[in-house]
Amino acid sequence: MTERLAPGVYIEEVQFASSPIPGVSTSTVGFVAVTGRGPVLGPLFSFLDFERVATPNLGANLPLAVRGFFENSGQQCFISQIAATDPLETGLVALDARAISIICCPDDPTIQNSAAVMAAHCEQRKDRICILQSAQPIVPVATHQPPLHSTYATYYYPWITVMSLDGSSTVTIPPSGHVAGVYAQTDSTRGVWSAPANVQLVGVAALSQDLTASESDALNSRGVDVIRTFPAQGIRVWGSRTTTNQDSDYKYVSVRRFMIFLEQSIAKGLQWAVFETNGPRLWAVIRSSIENFLRSVWKQGALQGLTQQEAFFVRCDLTTMTQNDLDNGRLVCIVGVAPVAPAEFVIMQIGIWTECTPKLSSH
């Protein structure tokens, strides 16, 4: 504090204790293990971590799914343990206190109504999505549909064949753990706004059902993200849609996950503003903080637009708040963004061009 040498009125300018908005983590997975009741395991940072804490009865598919998660560049996970007789909600509630962005239950075919429970959990929290899978390794393609419609759920088919833990045989399991690893890989190498698709699955020897291009097209149009085998390219995730049946802005996995990333990052990054004086100075600082954050992700290629004005806008002033809002302690900020969408259909228009040789005229 500056020393005051004489009586009088002194004025100092102060700043709000704001700070840059950091991006939240997007690739931590919460596995629900159908085993027996037990504490939440984790955080786990490798399959070796898992082996150190795993009990012998950690589900039929879970150990292979966790191994596949780390084989495909997964970085961190938690495991919630429930008994086969427990409702799935019990395992999901146990993960509430963890910063989870993706949830899956590799043994969910053994749990009744599991898809609806996981989707409802994500829709209520709005900070995570779920990876769903079919109850059987082979399902008739002509009638195959996702079990529900939600912008917070993704659904992958078919099952995958992997090596058993002891290396003596192969096992066919649901693909959720391996796909979750692809999500983490895409987040770290290209950003959460990129589609986690056209990525080769590591540790997968075969599929329970090889799909043709026409079958893949039909399933994809219904919200089923397929896994396909391509000659000389391996087994790849070949879809990036949520299970919504609406022509929604959130029909793509990458857009839904990117919006979760933005919402959670801004909400957590502005906690300092709670209880500050709700006036123009605070509004200006909040606008600046959000704009700086959005400018950063725009420069990384996460938003459309050649200019900042085309990519996003932030409003926080008397046009976004009524006197009733101010009287009741509500600060209302409106943020608009233009997220990029994946190029699902790359169309090349090719024709035959006959060049005409111009005739030379003599003078």
Distance from C-alpha of 81 to C-alpha of 99, rounded to nearest angstrom? 17
Beta bridge partners of 162: 171
pLDDT > 90? residue 253:
yes
The CB-side HSE value for 157 (13 A sphere, CA atoms) comes to 26
Lowest mean pLDDT among 21-30, 52-61, 147-156, 162-171: 52-61
According to DSSP, the β-strands at 234-238 and 225-230 are antiparallel
According to DSSP, the β-strands at 234-238 and 160-163 are unpaired
Rg of the chain on CA atoms, in Å? 25
Of residues 36 and 170, more confidently modeled: 170
From residue 122, alpha-carbon distances to 36, 79, 195, 257, 307 in Å are 24, 17, 20, 12, 34
In the chain, what percentage of residues exceed pLDDT 70?
Answer: 92
pLDDT band at 1 (very low <50, low <70, confident <90, very high): low
pLDDT band at 194 (very low <50, low <70, confident <90, very high): very high
pLDDT > 90? residue 16:
no
The CB-side HSE value for 292 (13 A sphere, CA atoms) comes to 13
pLDDT of residue 55: 77
Lowest mean pLDDT among 112-116, 143-147, 195-199, 223-227: 112-116
Cβ atoms within 10 Å of 293's Cβ, excluding its own: 22
Torsion angle of alpha carbons 158, 26, 73, 40, nearest 10°?
A: -80
Helices vs strands, H then E, count in the chain? 10, 14
pLDDT of residue 140: 92
Judge if the upstream peptide bond of residue 158 is cis by omega within 30 degrees of 0: yes
pLDDT of residue 85: 85
pLDDT band at 342 (very low <50, low <70, confident <90, very high): confident
- Computed over every residue of the chain, the mean pLDDT equals 90
pLDDT > 90? residue 303:
yes
pTM above 0.95, yes or no: no
Distance from C-alpha of 226 to C-alpha of 159, rounded to nearest angstrom? 10
pLDDT band at 361 (very low <50, low <70, confident <90, very high): low
pLDDT band at 10 (very low <50, low <70, confident <90, very high): low
Domains and CATH numbers, the chain: 29-254 (3.40.50.11780), 270-363 (no CATH)
pLDDT of residue 3: 65
Residues 59-88 pLDDT 10s: 779 999 999 999 999 999 999 999 888 999
Lowest mean pLDDT among 57-61, 162-166, 182-186: 57-61
Angle at 98 between CA 120 and CA 45, to 5 degrees: 120
Instruction: Please check whether residue 123 is in contact with residue 242, taking contact to mean a CB–CB distance below 8 angstroms.
Output: no
Distance from C-alpha of 87 to C-alpha of 111, rounded to nearest angstrom? 8
pLDDT of residue 112: 74
Residues 107-127 pLDDT 10s: 876 677 899 999 999 999 999
Q: Is the dihedral of CA 138, 122, 235, 47 positive or negative?
A: negative
pLDDT band at 138 (very low <50, low <70, confident <90, very high): very high
pLDDT of residue 4: 67
